[in-house]
Each structure stands twice: as C-alpha cells, then as structure tokens.
Amino acid sequence: LQTRMQSLQPDPKAQYRSVYEALKKIVLTEGIWTPLRGINVTMLGAGPAHAMYFACYEKMKKSLSEVIQHGGNSHLANGIAGSVATLLHDAVMNPAEVVKQRMQMFNSPYKSVLSCIRTVQKTEGFGAFYRSYTTQLTMNIPFQAIHFITYEFMQEQINPHREYNPRSHIVSGAVAGAVAAAATTPLDVCKTLLNTQENMALSSVNISGHLSGMLNAFKTVYQLGGVPGYFRGVQARVIYQMPSTAIAWSVYEFFKYFLTKHKLERRT
C-alpha cells in the first residue's frame, strides 16, 4: 500500500484517497494476494539483516556508553550505535526492497521474484539494486537515530528500572516507530521514486534514462507534487512502522532477557 500511495503519477486505475480505500480497491480488482507480492524476498533478507543489526547495535551501544557516560545510558551512544548498525542492515535489505517495490507497482511486468531479479540485472545492471542505497542510508540514519533515542527515552519514562516488561517494550517500540516514520517520510518518497523509476512521472518532467541520486529525487518530487508530495503515504508508513517496531523490540527484548537469564542460571 505504501508503495502504491507514494506513486507520484499513478495510473488512473491506481489512484487512492486513503489506506482503507487502497487496500479495498487492490483486493477487489487485483486479488487478495496482490498486497503481499514480493513479501517472500523481504522475509528472506530480514533474518540475517536483523541479526547483524541488533548484534552491532548492542555491541556499539555498550562500547560507546562506556566512553561517553561511563557505562550509563547515553542517548548519543544509542543514536550512533543504531545508525552504524543500519549500514549492515541496509546492505542486505536494499536489493530486497527494490525487488519488493517493483513487484508491488500497478501493472508490474514481473511474474516472480526471480524474474524481477533477472530482468533488472539484465536491463539495468547490478547497480540498479543499490541505486537508492545512499538515499536509504540518508533516510535510515536519521530514522534510526530518532527511533533508538525515542525508544530509550520512552523506556526511561515507563520502565525506569529497565526490567523485562513486555507491555513497556511494545508501547515504546510503537511510539518510537511512529515518530521516526513520520519525520522521515519525505526521504522515503524519494527512495520509492528511485527504486521504481516511474516512467510516466519521469517523462512528464522531461527526464530520460534513469533517475539517480537523492538530490535529483528531491527536485523531481517537488516538481511533480510540491511540498505535499513529500508526505504522500505518511499514514500508510506510520501504520506499517508502528506494529513493525513494536514487534521487533518486544521479540528482541524477550530473547535478550531469556538468554541473559539462561546464562546467569548456568553460571550459578
């Protein structure tokens, strides 16, 4: 839904006024499985990407906190650790995101994930999978900085003793995801344009060939939609990120608690 609603010059048959209308229209006209197209490639990359992401975050957070605040909870350390962890995460997830978004566009010519990968590789080269990588990092570094700082701040407010408390982790994760998602929507719109290379949109502003670079994407989005164009799909983005970050944090905190407890029991 997010990809469709961020389309800057959609087909008349793919114009939606709200998240609910978009979902209803897609299911009725294109089938119940259409909103899930490309989800398998995302799931395939998510496992190793998140493993590296949280491992890097935990290690860097502890190391930086020792230096900045002598082992205390440093928001600066949390933000930097989350930002660095993003470099590893996005290196895995960026190609998966390109494939997923291309398969989710209206009238997508790709029949399967493998077909999409082969066609893009053959027609546009390997670089197409990383065309939006710098934009993705430029978006995700502030996203993760805001995300981690907000999460840790929320934990300080509702779980000051930092005990394992599933409800506090879910609430903190959801709020952190919503705040970070809303703040970085303009960059996400640019990323979607770079990933999908909408022919109708690009030709209407006399761009031939492939659009590349965040600056060019920003200019093109403004030409096509003005300031409101930067916030297309903000509702869908927030709705998507809230449960996503809530689940991620609750699962992460559970395994962190479980493994730490198991380790202490073995030592005892």
Q: Over the stretch 139-159, which tens digit does the pLDDT of each residue have?
A: 788 898 899 989 989 999 999
> In a 3-state reduction of DSSP, which class is residue 108?
coil
Q: How far apart are CA 217 and CA 131, in angstroms?
A: 11
Q: How far apart are CA 239 and CA 220, in angstroms?
A: 26
What one-character-per-residue DSSP string does 130-158 give? Answer: GTTHHHHHHHHHHHHHHHHHHHHHHHHHH
Q: Over the stretch 127-142, which tens digit does the pLDDT of each residue have?
A: 888 887 887 788 788 8
- 202 within 8 A of 7, measured Cβ to Cβ: no
Spatial CB neighbours of 211, under 8 Å, sequence gap ≥ 6: 193, 194, 197, 202, 217, 220
Encoded amino acid at 255, one letter: F
Q: Over the stretch 92-128, which tens digit does the pLDDT of each residue have?
A: 888 888 888 787 777 677 778 788 888 888 888 888 8
pTM of the predicted structure, to 2 decimals: 0.64
Q: What is the dihedral of CA 206, 211, 212, 215, to 10 degrees?
A: 50
- 56 within 8 A of 65, measured Cβ to Cβ: no
**Run means of pLDDT, 10 residues per run, the chain, 268 residues:** 60 68 72 63 77 86 85 82 88 85 74 83 86 80 90 92 93 96 88 73 70 80 86 88 93 89 74
Locus of tokens 């566009």:
105
Q: What is the dihedral of CA 219, 221, 227, 230, to 10 degrees?
A: -120
